[in-house]
Chain A
């Protein structure tokens, strides 16, 4: 599977997901759902799981998935991003499912993974990250209670926790940090008003909440790191899907909007801004796809490929969303125009799983600090 080459099946998948999104996540539906108590339609979510089978595309068939690759999952996520699809994609598809795939098989894990892949249940990932990497400073503690374990503490700002059935949570016990699953019926949730209404958050408060072990101290860090890497790569792909939609919208508007008796896209000030948006988008697309392929076939350092993608895609989507408002002028600042929905998604995505600046710092650590002096360029010293 050559890098950057999508198969015919993947192109068909893209068309199918795009069609589904056009029918199920049209703008009026997105607006209705984002202002509802539950910000997605569980029936539509189940159809994504069972009818399209696009919630766990890289889950092995033995675990109830379709046995595809992360490239397949990325194809679907790019379309979800373009449509601003409503549902717990971040918590369930980007993070919880990859975490469960990386966990060793077991009754708690197998049953939950199958339910998430089918869209029967949804999950949030209540694990703090440090700039997109594993954070050993865990705020929830685990203690033994009877046959099992109970958790106490607070996980702040957990994306998709508001309506989730289960939270995956990192908690510290006497042996170290482990990953647990907790039913949301056993926790207290405080929904938060988020800037991006399509990506809800809640504080999750555990108080002697019964928990099922997914990964013990020996494996939890590896499992969490895997989930964060896959999640960051899929988030990058979501960003380019949304950014492409913004560019398409801006180009259409620049062709149809007339001022001074001309299409505004004929003015070089507008045309060149759109050209720069195109360049940023194509660069972002290359880095996002590269990260997905690197995680699929191991052709590159995983952490470096993911940080290159996150640094590039967060900056690109933020800039493209901002420029989309500018190209649209006044209408782009209104509530009725869709630009602000994507602008808020851009700000949210840029902050999640590490900012562009944090990933840039990681790239510097990995690339610049290890550079070996081999062939420094000649510097003139004022003497011929």
Chain B
């Protein structure tokens, strides 16, 4: 075994990969497979599993060279795969053979992954979910309904959280599985949202079977495994800072500047307040990165999701109020999925409608304020009516 790879060695490996497999020439799966084999997919993973067993911070060194040579950002092609499934599989799958079986096709993007957590009856209270998994010989039999599943219709594998013990308190009766989305009894239906698009799916699972080998972690240990997934969802700290005025605020400033005929002093001050909020958050993200480098993120790291979501809404509300009667038109409610033309969020009116989801998805703003209050400020938790109660006795509706 080698000792830990340093930045120079990682750079050397990345340069070799792009020299032998030019991402502009060879098919994408071949290139990404070469990255995986060289240990550049997740450099902090063990050697042989798409990594080099070195520091996570060196990923930026590899990505800079690979993307500089024309590689796409793989996280954008297989977001649940690269961002959530890979670390969960790497940490919790039962043996290396299984890890390799899942990880290499994930890395090449031949296998797209999705996440089967939320349910119609379990949103903020995810641990209350009801999808059941019942042991039958070497298999588990799954029944239930999942919702808000992006890419389910394209996915080969799904990260599934299901209930294996209805007599235990809610967190203790969960088990984590990998579901073959092609197996009998798995049905995906597009879920139309208020924009008219269908970015997400509902997944109906009826007597679908999962081999016990595709269980991650122990029976009843699903919540702990899910934390690996969720921590990775929320901890993606950008490698580089954003520019002043970039992001959603730039859309409002550009709209403002392009429509002098609609400018008023009242709107000008409102836009300035939004610009200042965006700038304060940008500086706070910069500060968060500085303190993460200096050791451990501070409280400033936890607020970005909540502020960004609420700011997005206020910025698009501003755009609508600037446009006035022009804003209440739309392009089309014809049912369509997301396109890949780089403008997937569509015209400003669609973005305005889409932004309503920002304060719900990935943790509602109410949950985010609880997290800031309890984990950052150390305030006492709320009263929980279901504490310690067997899941089957918890009122639902």
CA distance A283 to B350 in the complex (A): 29
Stretch from A46-54, A189-197, A334-342, A370-378 that touches the partner: A370-378
Knowing A368-B256, A371-B256, the reply to whether A278 touches B291 (Cβ < 8 A) is no
In angstroms, how far is the closest chain A Cβ from the Cβ of B263?
Answer: 9
| Chain B residues, Cβ within 8 Å of A363 | 272, 275-276
Majority SS of interface residues in chain B?
Answer: helix
Do A376 and B255 touch across chains, with their CB atoms under 8 A apart? Answer: yes
Stretch from B169-177, B212-220, B366-374 that touches the partner: B366-374
| Chain B residues, Cβ within 8 Å of A282 | 284, 299-300, 303
Do A283 and B277 touch across chains, with their CB atoms under 8 A apart? Answer: yes
A275 touches which of B268, B291, B372 (Cβ 8 Å): B372
The answer to the question of A36 belonging to the interface, with a C-beta cut-off of 8 Å to chain B, is no
14 A-B pairs (CB sep. < 8 Å): A4-B287, A4-B291, A255-B378, A279-B306, A284-B280, A286-B300, A311-B276, A357-B269, A376-B258, A377-B254, A378-B346, A380-B330, A380-B349, A384-B331
In angstroms, how far is the closest chain B Cβ from the Cβ of A355?
Answer: 13
| Chain B residues, Cβ within 8 Å of A145 | none
What 19 additional pairs, Cβ within 8 angstroms, besides A363-B272, A368-B257, A377-B347?
A: A255-B378, A265-B379, A265-B380, A271-B370, A278-B376, A279-B307, A282-B300, A283-B284, A284-B280, A286-B286, A286-B287, A286-B300, A287-B283, A360-B269, A360-B273, A364-B268, A377-B319, A378-B347, A380-B346
Render A214-243 as a binary contact track against B, CB cut-off 8 A, 1 for contact. 000000000000000000000000000000
A274 touches which of B269, B279, B377 (Cβ 8 Å): B377
Knowing A308-B276, A368-B271, A380-B348, the reply to whether A271 touches B373 (Cβ < 8 A) is yes
Render B223-267 as a binary contact track against A, CB cut-off 8 A, 1 for contact. 000000000000000000000010000110111111000000000
Tell me how many residues of A have a C-beta within 8 Å of chain B. 52
CA distance A254 to B253 in the complex (A): 40
The answer to the question of A204 belonging to the interface, with a C-beta cut-off of 8 Å to chain B, is no
Do B256 and A290 touch across chains, with their CB atoms under 8 A apart? Answer: no
Knowing A4-B286, A382-B330, the reply to whether A364 touches B377 (Cβ < 8 A) is no
Do B287 and A376 touch across chains, with their CB atoms under 8 A apart? Answer: no
Q: Which of B293-322 contact A (CB under 8 A)?
A: 293-294, 299-300, 303, 306-307, 319
Do B299 and A255 touch across chains, with their CB atoms under 8 A apart? Answer: no
Knowing A251-B378, A265-B380, A380-B331, the reply to whether A272 touches B369 (Cβ < 8 A) is yes
In angstroms, how far is the closest chain A Cβ from the Cβ of B323?
Answer: 7
A279 touches which of B258, B279, B303 (Cβ 8 Å): B303
The answer to the question of B327 belonging to the interface, with a C-beta cut-off of 8 Å to chain A, is yes
CA distance A2 to B284 in the complex (A): 15
CA distance A278 to B284 in the complex (A): 12
A266 touches which of B271, B287, B379 (Cβ 8 Å): B379
| Chain A residues, Cβ within 8 Å of B277 | 283
CA distance A320 to B234 in the complex (A): 28
| Chain B residues, Cβ within 8 Å of A2 | 290
B380 touches which of A4, A263, A374, A384 (Cβ 8 Å): A263
| Chain B residues, Cβ within 8 Å of A311 | 276
CA distance A279 to B374 in the complex (A): 14
In angstroms, how far is the closest chain B Cβ from the Cβ of A241?
Answer: 16
Do A268 and B382 touch across chains, with their CB atoms under 8 A apart? Answer: yes
| Chain B residues, Cβ within 8 Å of A206 | none
| Chain B residues, Cβ within 8 Å of A19 | none
Do A372 and B257 touch across chains, with their CB atoms under 8 A apart? Answer: yes
Knowing A287-B283, A363-B275, A363-B276, the reply to whether A376 touches B257 (Cβ < 8 A) is yes
CA distance A250 to B306 in the complex (A): 22
A278 touches which of B281, B303, B346 (Cβ 8 Å): B303
Sort A-B residue pairs by CB-CB distance and give the 6 closest, nearest first.
Answer: A382-B329, A283-B280, A271-B373, A286-B283, A384-B332, A380-B331
Knowing A2-B290, A268-B366, A371-B256, the reply to whether A274 touches B276 (Cβ < 8 A) is no
Do B329 and A381 touch across chains, with their CB atoms under 8 A apart? Answer: yes
| Chain B residues, Cβ within 8 Å of A289 | 283, 287
In angstroms, how far is the closest chain A Cβ from the Cβ of B285?
Answer: 9
CA distance A274 to B379 in the complex (A): 9
| Chain A residues, Cβ within 8 Å of B382 | 266-268, 271
CA distance A372 to B286 in the complex (A): 25
| Chain B residues, Cβ within 8 Å of A271 | 369-370, 373-374, 379, 382
A360 to B, closest residue via Cβ? B272
| Chain B residues, Cβ within 8 Å of A379 | 255, 323, 326-327, 347-349
The answer to the question of B381 belonging to the interface, with a C-beta cut-off of 8 Å to chain A, is yes
| Chain B residues, Cβ within 8 Å of A367 | 245, 253, 272, 275
Q: Which of A344-363 contact B (CB under 8 A)?
A: 357, 360-361, 363
The answer to the question of B20 belonging to the interface, with a C-beta cut-off of 8 Å to chain A, is no
Do B347 and A376 touch across chains, with their CB atoms under 8 A apart? Answer: no
| Chain B residues, Cβ within 8 Å of A287 | 279-280, 283
Do A262 and B383 touch across chains, with their CB atoms under 8 A apart? Answer: yes
Render A297-310 as a binary contact track against B, CB cut-off 8 A, 1 for contact. 00000000000100
Knowing A278-B376, A278-B377, A379-B327, the reply to whether A384 touches B280 (Cβ < 8 A) is no
Do A3 and B290 touch across chains, with their CB atoms under 8 A apart? Answer: yes
CA distance A4 to B276 in the complex (A): 19
The answer to the question of A259 belonging to the interface, with a C-beta cut-off of 8 Å to chain B, is no
CA distance A360 to B269 in the complex (A): 8
The answer to the question of B8 belonging to the interface, with a C-beta cut-off of 8 Å to chain A, is no
Among A357, A363, A374, A376, which residue has the most Cβ atoms of chain B within 10 A?
A: A376
Do A368 and B377 touch across chains, with their CB atoms under 8 A apart? Answer: no
Do A266 and B380 touch across chains, with their CB atoms under 8 A apart? Answer: yes
Q: Which of B355-397 contact A (CB under 8 A)?
A: 366, 368-370, 372-374, 376-383
B334 to A, closest residue via Cβ? A384
Do B380 and A255 touch across chains, with their CB atoms under 8 A apart? Answer: yes
The answer to the question of A276 belonging to the interface, with a C-beta cut-off of 8 Å to chain B, is yes
In angstroms, how far is the closest chain B Cβ from the Cβ of A140?
Answer: 34
CA distance A384 to B283 in the complex (A): 39
Do B290 and A283 touch across chains, with their CB atoms under 8 A apart? Answer: no
Do A275 and B283 touch across chains, with their CB atoms under 8 A apart? Answer: no
